[in-house]
Amino acid sequence: MNLGKLVLDLIYPPRCPFCGRVLEVWEEEGLCHRCQKTLPWQLEVGKQVDFCARCLSPLWYRGSVRRGMRRFKFQGGQIHARLFGMLMAQCLHDQWGEEVDGITWVPVSRRRLGQRGFDQCQLLAREVGKYLGVEVVPTLEKVRNTKQQSRIPTPSARQANVMGAYAVLDGIDLTGKRMVLVDDVVTSGATLGECAACLRMAGAEEVIGLTLARAR
């Protein structure tokens, strides 16, 4: 541990991203002991999503997972991308295991990026890439603003909401590549499916969805 980190740890002690408790020195993984035991781990082998081989998620989206993600997105909790990315990388490793060629993410709109100052899925993708030693590449842009998916009640309306909302960036060729597509939460899978369709049209051989959490 270097001195700079030690001083920072004293001023801003590292906290568990899920329950907010200050971590003990031995809880080095960045997740507190209690949450490790009690978090709603998602043990089913993924969810079926259009144009994806599968969508994997280490956690269910409820309780402290939901609160942790809100902190991450809205309350300056970007530092937690590191632990979240590690949990996602571990999940991909355990539940998929096969090699992948690249990692990309579901982008936010330019307007949202301006408001928030960062793209949460890009942060997650970057951390997943670090853990897996796989290149992280921007491939998509959001070309149309959409309503928040969580406010739309039915799957078919969700699908309509995101239809045509994403496009592949100029000059991207994914021919023959197996790509991991990162998002924060999967609910109906409409957004991931729409983005995966774009990647497949750009030549991707296979797309594996990967999110931190899965909502029922």
Residues that bind Zn ion (CB under 5 A): 16, 18-19, 32, 35
Closest CB 8 distance from Zn ion, rounded Å: 20
Whose Cβ is closer to Zn ion: residue 17's or residue 107's?
Answer: 17
Helices marked H in the chain — which ranges?
3-11, 33-38, 63-74, 81-95, 110-116, 120-132, 155-162, 190-201
**CB 89 to Zn ion: min, Å:** 20
Maximum distance among all Cα pairs of the chain, rounded to whole angstroms: 54
Q: What is the DSSP letter of 65?
A: H
Beta carbon of residue 18, minimum distance to Zn ion (angstroms, whole number): 5
Query: What span, in angstroms and rounded, lies between the C-alpha atoms of 182 and 103?
Result: 7
Q: Which amino acid is at 93?
A: H
At residue 210, φ and ψ (nearest 5 deg) are -145, 115
CA–CA gap between residue 79 and residue 57 (Å, rounded): 20
Q: Could you tell me the CA-to-CA distances from 150 to 67, 99, 178 in Å, in that order?
A: 15, 32, 29
Residue 90 phi/psi, 5° resolution? -65, -40
209, two tokens = 């969805």
Task: Give the shortest CB-88-to-Zn ion separation in angstroms.
Answer: 18
Chain-centre distance of CA 211, in angstroms?
A: 4
Nearer to Zn ion, 26 or 154 (CB): 26
Q: Which is nearer to Zn ion, 49 or 83 (CB)?
A: 83
| Shortest reach from residue 66's CB to Zn ion, in Å | 14
**Residue 34 vs 130, nearer CB to Zn ion:** 34
Residue with Cβ nearer Zn ion (30 or 203): 30
Query: Which C-beta is closer to Zn ion: that of 36 or that of 48?
Result: 36
- What minimum distance in Å lies between the beta carbon of 158 and Zn ion? 31
Provide φ and ψ at 106, rounded to 5°.
-80, 115
